[in-house]
A and B are shown apart, each in its own frame.
Chain A
Amino acid sequence: MSALILQDLVKSYGSVPALNGVSFEVGQGEFFCLLGPSAAGKTTTLRAVAGLEKLDSGTITFAGRDQTGLPVQGRDIAMIFQSFALYPHMSAYDNLAYPLREQKLPRAQIRQRVGEIAEMLRLSHVLARKPDTLSGGEQQRVAIGRALIRRPRLLLLDEPLTNLDAKLRHETRAEFKRLHRELDMTLLYATPDQLEALTMGNRIAVLRAGKVVQVGTPDELYDGPVDRFVGALIGAPAMNLVTATSAGAGALETGFGRLDNGPWSQALGGFGRGESLLLGFRPHDISPLEPGAAAPLTVQAKIHLTEPLGDITVLDLRAGDTTFKMVLPEEKAVAYAVGDEFDVSIALERTHLFAAATGTAIR
């Protein structure tokens, strides 16, 4: 059952369009990610769901009720802002207690719930302090606590990790997953970081220029991007894209030679010759060809640059005048050096094909 249904949200600020018809549905208890680059409309979408932004058109249904136009107060939605938005004049305790005080709960009960949430988020020792004396991680946990303390049915998170350092980000990702599992809450999580979306989201909506481009599970988005932008957005390092032209009968002319029998062959059958296309393949789907072995798509490539990233190494390869990236586990990468020439095999069954003009996938 869908907890939250967004239908055709349209919003512009003066002449600046922010949302151009955003629609998606979030299931009850789902961890739903909204993934998109800066200015895609993530914040605007969240603010609209919270009721902070008046829409030009479109409807928002939450828990079976049309919420469009309802006041913010009493929507039973909490939000964690990108800036955390803690009340700077209140102690951490008062920040946590604020939503409960607004609900006019008895003092004793407030004290108990603040104690519980502070315990859960390891904040007990900083409760007396004002936000500006807290570390970034503590501020963020206060913001999480203030959002959770009301036990809202829907939690909106706007890039909550952007302001944290790498280590804290990693810890907090795990923390969010744990909270989601334990509290059984519906989460709508906006992020520009594909890694956050892939690791945490049950499902992801990719947003670009105020429009939802694709909705799916992390695997669906990774394996079947609807266009070259989603292909390049999901997965790191980004998908390689090389130019290609259709050669008729489901075949393809590329810098690597003529290809057919790809997963796209059938769809390509309808295309005439000479159409401009892009062949996409992920750096993870390339491997060095064992001597003597054969593969449907092999390329002789020369190492142009290596980029060791700890447990993996990214190799920049050149074949003719095309360049592409390949990922190798650290222990295999040590055997290679810049300038080496060798054969690699690209997993043909995992390649993607896009129309060059529009970027849409052909499959």
Chain B
Amino acid sequence: MAWRKRREIGKAGWGWTGFAGIISFIYFFPVLWIILTAFKSNADVLSVPPKFLFTPTLENFVSVFRRSYIPGQAAVDTGFDLFFFNSIYIAGTSVALALVIGTLAAYGFSRYPLRGNDTYMFIILTTRMLPPIIVIIPIFLMFRLAGLSGTYTGIIALYTAFNLPFTIWMMKSFFDELAPDIEDAGRLDGSSERRVFFKICLPQVRAGLAATAVFGLILTWNEFLFALLLTGIDTRTIPVAMAQTIGGDIGVRWGLLAAIETLFLIPVIVVVFALQKHLLRGVTFGTIKR
């Protein structure tokens, strides 16, 4: 039947499970290393050979947000709470905007194709194929001229534009997969075109929306180059702030950096886990025979 997908999932044997476990561990090791380092005192961080058993401390996490340069004096705010807020706000808003605009555009491209539809789709793709570094100077100047550099509006607009091409492409492929009869059934049942979209099409591509959102969030969350050039002190995002921490005059504080990285990781993990159910279906969508 068209959308049946009951199937038995065979269990792998112990050997394969163990093998997969080892491979996963190797991949996960750097992350584990960083997380462990975040809980180490400065002395432990630098010890050779590296210690895997140590007394954990939260000192690094405290100094992410508050730093006291001279012992005994009041701690100063490092600004990292703002940078975390910036990263979340900028990534969240631009991905949400790209999803709204991109999903509508994708539905249009899928259901109401223009003359030369494929050409438009291709042009949209090329904007993303360009290595960003090529356009960075004109964009920097344009932002300066428009008074957008250093503002939330500027960086959000830029990230939205960055996320749009693949949002449109991904969402269009999800809409293309839907059986047109189901929408026609909706029309016959009395739904207006708008309700066909909201009540019938959109719920069917939920998994696709989740997958697209995660891709967008991860890309935007990690973006460094444009953030470096186009954000100001107030709008700085974590990747940039992190890099600036490395360049301090007292040498790299590995424990501190590891703590920032650990915190930086948390939202990604939260989002991926929250959307996990949809995500698996979303990324395998086109490969399941319907």
Contacts of B185 in A (CB 8 A): 79, 81, 85-87, 146
* Alpha-carbon distance between A81 and B2 when the two chains are bound, in angstroms: 12
Which residues from 168 to 203 on chain B have a C-beta closer than 8 Å to any C-beta of chain A? 179, 181-182, 184-192, 195, 200, 203
Instruction: Determine the chain A residues whose CB is within 8 A of the CB of B190 once the complex forms.
Output: 73-74, 99, 102-103, 150
Chain B proximity mask over A89-121: 1 for CB below 8 Å, otherwise 0: 110000000110011000000000000000000
Task: Give the distance in Å from the alpha carbon of A136 to the alpha carbon of B3 in the complex.
Answer: 11
List the A side residues contacting B203 at CB < 8 Å.
89-90
Which residue of chain A lies nearest to B202 when distances are taken between CB atoms in the complex? A89
The CA of A74 and the CA of B203, in the complex, are separated in Å by 24
A72-B187, A88-B204 are known contacts. Are A132 and B181 too (CB-CB below 8 A)? Answer: no
Interface residues of B in 1-39 (CB under 8 A from A): 1-6
| Cβ–Cβ contact A52 & B187, under 8 A | yes
Is A88 within 8 A of B3, CB to CB? yes
Tell yes or no: A197 within 8 A of B by CB.
no
Q: Which chain B residues lie closer than 8 Å to A163 at the CB level?
A: 1
**A102 near B181 (CB under 8 angstroms)?**
no
Among A81, A84, A89, the residue within 8 A (CB) of B184 is A81
Query: A83 vs B181: C-alpha distance in the bound complex, in angstroms?
Result: 8
User: Which residues from chain A contact B189 at a C-beta distance below 8 Å?
Assistant: 78, 98-99, 102, 146, 150
What's the minimum C-beta distance from A150 to chain B, rounded to whole angstroms? 7
Interface membership of A77, Cβ < 8 A = yes
Closest to A50 in B: B188
A83 touches B6 (CB 8 A): no
CA distance A139 to B185 in the complex (A): 14
- Measured between alpha carbons, how far is A103 from B191 in the docked complex, in Å? 9
Q: How far is the CB of A103 from chain B (nearest CB, A)?
A: 6
Q: Which residues of B contact A98 (CB under 8 A)?
A: 186, 189
Bound-state Cα–Cα, A78 to B184, Å? 11
Q: How far is the CA of A84 from the CA of B190 in the complex (A)?
A: 17
CA distance A79 to B1 in the complex (A): 19
Q: How far is the CB of B206 from chain A (nearest CB, A)?
A: 8
Check if B192 sits within 8 Å of A73, measured CB to CB.
Answer: yes
- What sequence of 0s and 1s flags, for each residue 57-86 of chain A, a beta carbon within 8 Å of any chain B beta carbon? 000000000000000111101110111111
Give Cα A131 to B182, complex, Å.
12
Q: Given the complex, which residues of B lie within 8 Å of A139, measured CB to CB?
A: 1
Q: Sort chain B's interface into a size bin.
A: 20 to 34
Contacts of A133 in B (CB 8 A): 6
Q: Which of these, B4, B182, B188, B192, contacts A87 with CB under 8 Å?
A: B182
CA distance A146 to B206 in the complex (A): 24
Within 8 A of B (CB), among A20-67: 47, 50, 52
On whether the beta carbons of A85 and B184 are closer than 8 Å, the reply is yes
- Chain A CB count within 10 A is highest, among B1, B188, B191, B192, for B188
| In contact, A85 and B182 (Cβ under 8 angstroms) | yes
Assuming the A-B contacts A72-B187, A72-B188, are A87 and B181 also in contact, with contact meaning beta carbons closer than 8 angstroms in the complex?
no
Neighbouring B residues of A77 by C-beta, 8 Å: 188
Identify the closest chain B residue to A102 (Cβ).
B190
* Bound-state Cα–Cα, A146 to B190, Å: 12
Contact A88 B182 (CB under 8 A): yes
Cα separation A27 to B3 with both chains bound (whole Å)? 36
**A99 proximity list for chain B (CB < 8 A):** 189-190
Q: CA–CA, A81 to B187, complex, Å? A: 13
Give the docked Cα–Cα distance between A30 and B181 (Å): 26
**1/0 contact string of A110-149 vs chain B (CB within 8 Å):** 0000000000000000000001110010010000001000
Q: Cβ of B3 and Cβ of A85 under 8 Å apart? A: no
Given contact pairs A78-B188, A79-B185, A89 touches B5 in the complex (Cβ within 8 A): no
A81 adjacent to B6 (CB under 8 Å): no
Do B4 and A85 have beta carbons less than 8 Å apart? no
Report B-chain residues with C-beta under 8 Å of the C-beta of A75: 188
B3 surroundings in chain A (CB, below 8 A) = 88, 131-132
Asked if A132 meets B5 with Cβ closer than 8 Å, knowing A99-B190, A102-B191, A146-B189, the reply is yes
User: Nearest Cβ distance between residue A161 and chain B, in whole angstroms?
Assistant: 14
Q: Which residues of B contact A84 (CB under 8 A)?
A: 1-2
User: Complex: how many Å from CA A82 to CA B182?
Assistant: 11
Contacts of B182 in A (CB 8 A): 85-88
CB-CB under 8 A from A79, the residues of chain B are 184-185, 188
CA distance A238 to B182 in the complex (A): 37
Q: How far is the CA of A132 from the CA of B288 in the complex (A)?
A: 14
Contacts of B4 in A (CB 8 A): 132
Residue of A nearest to B205 (CB): A89
Shortest A313–chain B CB gap in Å is 35
Out of B179, B187, B191, B200, name the residue touching A83 (CB < 8 Å): B179
Q: Taking the nearest CB of chain B, how far is it from the CB of A132, in angstroms?
A: 5
Given contacts A73-B190, A146-B189, contact A81 B181 (CB under 8 A): yes
CB pair A85–B200 under 8 Å, yes or no, is: no
Known contacts A73-B190, A74-B190, A89-B203; is A132 also within 8 Å of B184 by CB? no
CA distance A47 to B206 in the complex (A): 29
With the chains together, A93 CA to B202 CA distance in Å? 20
- Closest chain A residue to B182 by CB distance? A85
Q: Are B2 and A83 in contact (CB under 8 A)?
A: yes
18 A-B residue pairs with Cβ-Cβ distance under 8 Å, sorted by A, are A47-B184, A73-B190, A78-B189, A79-B185, A79-B188, A83-B179, A83-B181, A84-B1, A87-B186, A89-B206, A90-B203, A98-B189, A99-B189, A103-B190, A131-B3, A132-B4, A136-B1, A163-B1
Kindly list the 5 A-B residue pairs having the minimum CB-CB distance in the complex, ordered from nearest. A102-B190, A85-B181, A99-B189, A85-B185, A89-B203
Additional 16 contacts, C-beta under 8 A, given A85-B185, A88-B204, A89-B203: A50-B184, A52-B187, A78-B189, A81-B184, A83-B179, A85-B182, A87-B200, A98-B186, A98-B189, A99-B190, A102-B190, A102-B191, A102-B195, A132-B6, A139-B1, A150-B190
